[in-house]
Chain A
């Protein structure tokens, strides 16, 4: 298995633009997590899905952020409109409940 695949690896966008981050979890894993990492706040859980259903989205910062998981092999995190304070590294991870979570390489987002 290729592991958790995230795209793009790097994204630079202008303030106000829509940004979509993509994640392909490991086949067979039924839990998926989106995290954001910044120097100021560390690693923050934004949302997690179990069996494609959002279980906890309390970490989503505001309505500009939305996440979907239309099927077991794909998830997106969308920011619309983007702001400079959204600049961070966004990680996707997948796992079986209670077991090891495997992380993707992350998407480094820069909003200018």
Chain B
């Protein structure tokens, strides 16, 4: 079945540092890939998405590129802010089984 593996946290950074969170997936066919973010005390919300190979999703300074050859969808941001402190989830949705599968989540803390 489909599955997602993401980098374990927690990750602690200083403001303006570079952030990368690794995510790899296992799936049949061509799944859609997502990054969701959960701020403290809130539900999950979509950060960015990519629906086919070589697509780059971007939002709020975050980027991730759908790499079919390496089955990866790593999240990056060049200069983080304190407000980026949250839990980040990589997710996959297959058109064949409709199931939305999440990684374990990576807690990111940005210090001023």
Q: Which residues of A are interface residues toward B (Cβ below 8 A)? A: 31, 33, 35, 42-43, 45, 48, 50, 55-56, 91, 93, 95, 97-106
Give the residue among B51, B94, B98 with the most A Cβ atoms within 10 A. B98
Tell whether, in the assembled complex, residue B100 and residue A101 are in contact, meaning their CB atoms are under 8 Å apart.
Answer: yes
Tell whether, in the assembled complex, residue A56 and residue B99 are in contact, meaning their CB atoms are under 8 Å apart.
Answer: yes
Kindly provide the distance from the CB of A93 to the nearest chain B CB, expressed in whole angstroms. 7
Tell whether, in the assembled complex, residue A33 and residue B100 are in contact, meaning their CB atoms are under 8 Å apart.
Answer: yes
In the docked arrangement, what's the CA distance between A93 and B44, Å? 9
In the docked arrangement, what's the CA distance between A94 and B31, Å? 17
Kindly provide the distance from the CB of A57 to the nearest chain B CB, expressed in whole angstroms. 12
In the docked arrangement, what's the CA distance between A31 and B36, Å? 18
- Point out the residue from B91, B98, B105 that lies within 8 Å of A97, measured CB to CB: B98
Interface 1/0 per residue, B38-57 and A, CB below 8 Å: 00001111100101000000
Q: Given the known A-B contacts A56-B99, A106-B43, are A101 and B104 also in contact in the complex, defined by CB atoms under 8 Å?
A: no
- Point out the residue from A35, A48, A50, A100 that lies within 8 Å of B46, measured CB to CB: A100
Tell whether, in the assembled complex, residue B98 and residue A50 are in contact, meaning their CB atoms are under 8 Å apart.
Answer: yes
- Point out the residue from B31, B42, B100, B102 that lies within 8 Å of A95, measured CB to CB: B100
Q: Which residues of B are interface residues toward A (Cβ below 8 A)? A: 31-32, 34, 36, 42-46, 49, 51, 89, 91, 93-95, 97-102, 104-105
- Point out the residue from B36, B93, B99, B102 that lies within 8 Å of A55, measured CB to CB: B99
For A100, what are the chain B residues with a Cβ–Cβ distance below 8 Å? 34, 46, 49
Closest to B93 in A: A98
For A48, what are the chain B residues with a Cβ–Cβ distance below 8 Å? 98-100
- 8 more contacts with CB within 8 A, not counting A45-B100, A98-B95, are A45-B101, A48-B98, A48-B100, A50-B98, A55-B98, A91-B43, A105-B42, A106-B43
